[in-house]
Amino acid sequence: MNRNFIREGIIIKNTRIEEAHKGVTLLTRDSGLLSAIAYGAYKTKSKLKGLTDPFNRITCYLYFESVKGNWKITDVDCRDFNLGIKSDLKRYYTASMCAEVIIKSYGGGQEYEKIFDLFSSTLKFLDNIAEAKRKFVLLQFLWRYISLLGLRPRLNKCLLCSRIIEKGETVYYSSEGGVICTRCSTSNMTEIPPGGRSYLNHTGSLTLPEALRVGLDVRSVDALKKFFYKWIEDVLEQPLNTLRSGEDFL
């Protein structure tokens, strides 16, 4: 039985195992999330030390230890270190939030290739894009990831009264899985202004590069961030650690 495998992946999380070993969570193109161990990777002279850091896109050589049921990383070819992300705290937190969403949703189900390509493209743009556009990268990742999960809410119809919402209306997020109109809203609800709703409806049918060329006013960007944060935590049914520890950097 062949126990040696090659996987294309993106490292999304590291954990320390004992003193010297590194637990590595990979998002792979053909099988989603995979957890492996890089033995000795925390040692100073280990060749795997820097190659197994988060947000590296790699070709990973693996050995499956059938007795322990563990994957062992034997070698790595790094295709992209994404150094721009690692050198900027805001970009790093943004990438970390995307990674946490993937982990806590168990890799997003069976859409392995689409999710891999989305996260890979997100890191590519995040690594190089101007700071003024960084928040748009996060918005587009979350909007597209929700769509891949099959959970994109209808933005043009009130969840409570079923009324078709007019183009210039503000809507409000409902934890029931959609939006409600102004007439049905209550105080302290998360709002989505007309500009934000139009932005999501328009960019949802565009490619990621095309969507990132579309602008949006600051108020609508901030409102959409709040909407997505609330929506994602409701979907995951648990808080996001990156949001709790680094919201100011997102």
Tokens at 62, concatenated: 């693996």
pLDDT for 66? 86
Task: Give me the phi and psi of 152, to 5 degrees please.
Answer: -65, 125
pLDDT for 69? 86
210-227 pLDDT tens trace: 999 999 999 999 999 999
* pTM of the model as a whole: 0.94
CB 232 within 8 A of CB 225: no
SS3 5: strand
CB 64 within 8 A of CB 3: yes
1-41 pLDDT tens trace: 678 999 999 999 999 999 999 999 999 999 999 999 999 99
Task: Give me the phi and psi of 154, to 5 degrees please.
Answer: -75, 130
State whether the Cα torsion 66-72-76-82 is positive or negative.
Answer: positive
Distance, in Å, from the CA atom of 234 to the CA atom of 91, rounded to the nearest integer, reads 24
Instruction: Report residue 90's pLDDT band, with 50, 70 and 90 as the boundaries.
Output: very high
**Helices 218-236 and 194-203: angle between axes, nearest 10 degrees:** 70
pLDDT for 177? 85
Tokens at 186, concatenated: 């209550």
Distance, in Å, from the CA atom of 20 to the CA atom of 39, rounded to the nearest integer, reads 7
Instruction: Report residue 156's pLDDT band, with 50, 70 and 90 as the boundaries.
Output: very high
Distance, in Å, from the CA atom of 79 to the CA atom of 57, rounded to the nearest integer, reads 6
Distance, in Å, from the CA atom of 221 to the CA atom of 100, rounded to the nearest integer, reads 21
Distance, in Å, from the CA atom of 137 to the CA atom of 93, rounded to the nearest integer, reads 12
Q: Tokens 């062992």 — which residue?
A: 72
